[in-house]
């Protein structure tokens, strides 16, 4: 397609698509135990967050804890496990929104805690809370598998057979439904393994 310069100029004046907001980032280095770095990654993945979003949520969690006085950050000092001479701490840089990085610095001002210790502590608390939440949910798995997932898998397999009978196994509808059944059976198997062995049920 070829357009005249006059037409292009006229059409350009009507172009009013919003531009994506460019984030202003600050690459911040934290010196934390390796298990804390791993926890950051695990929590972000389990909550479907980017690492940038994770630190936004972490700061919100810290601010809420101080607001309702759940944790007194003024009198906290790093634990022996985190600060002991034998502890292995790893330097790693993360991309934070500049405003988030500034808020972290402002938050620790006048408090008896360093930025690294603050992040280390709150990540450990978050991990404990999320692990507890997951543990409580997993207590329900046996009943859910028995009363919901299991019966549904059985019905889905019957439908799969009927679709193959009516449409043939190569029909797109049959093939896509077979894929759904495969996912259901995989979920059922992972739940069984979780109940028996405690292995994780993976996210799709």
pLDDT score at 204:
62
pTM of the model: 0.67
Q: Are residues 89 and 128 in the same domain?
A: yes
For residue range 41-89, list pLDDT tens digits in order: 999 988 889 999 999 999 999 988 888 877 777 655 555 444 444 468 9
Alpha helices in 3-97 (DSSP H): 5-14, 34-46, 51-67, 80-83
Of residues 21 and 63, more confidently modeled:
63
Give the residue-averaged pLDDT of 169-180.
94
Q: State which of 136, 151, 176 marks the end of a domain.
A: 136
Q: State which of 136, 166, 181 marks the end of a domain.
A: 136
Q: Are residues 91 and 181 in the same domain?
A: no
The pLDDT mean for the chain works out to 85
* Site of tokens 């009516």: 166
Of residues 5 and 153, more confidently modeled:
153
Give the Cα separation of 193 and 100 in Å (integer): 40
pLDDT score at 80:
46
Report whether 169 contacts 175 (CB < 8 A).
yes
Type and span of the H or E element at 60: helix 51-67
The radius of gyration computed from the CA coordinates of the chain, to the nearest angstrom, equals 26
Residues 6 or more apart whose Cβ sits within 8 Å of residue 2: none
């Amino acid at each position: 397609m070829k357009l005249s310069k006059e037409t292009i100029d006229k059409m350009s004046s009507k172009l009013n698509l919003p531009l994506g907001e460019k984030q202003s980032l600050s690459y911040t280095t934290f010196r934390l135990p390796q298990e804390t770095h791993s926890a950051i990654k695990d929590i972000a993945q389990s909550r479907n967050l980017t690492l940038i979003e994770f630190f936004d949520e972490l700061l919100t969690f810290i601010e809420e804890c101080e607001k309702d006085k759940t944790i007194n950050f003024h009198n906290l000092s790093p634990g022996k496990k985190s600060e002991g001479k034998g502890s292995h701490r790893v330097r790693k840089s993360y991309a934070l929104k500049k405003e988030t990085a500034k808020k972290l610095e402002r938050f620790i001002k006048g408090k008896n805690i360093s930025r690294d210790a603050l992040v280390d502590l709150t990540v450990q608390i978050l991990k404990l809370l999320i692990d507890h939440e997951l543990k409580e949910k997993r207590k329900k798995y046996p009943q859910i598998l028995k009363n919901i997932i299991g019966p549904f898998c059985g019905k889905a397999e019957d439908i799969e057979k009927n679709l193959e009978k009516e449409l043939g196994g190569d029909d797109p509808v049959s093939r896509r439904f077979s894929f759904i059944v495969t996912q259901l059976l995989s979920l059922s198997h992972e739940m069984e393994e979780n109940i028996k062995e405690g292995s994780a049920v993976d996210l799709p």
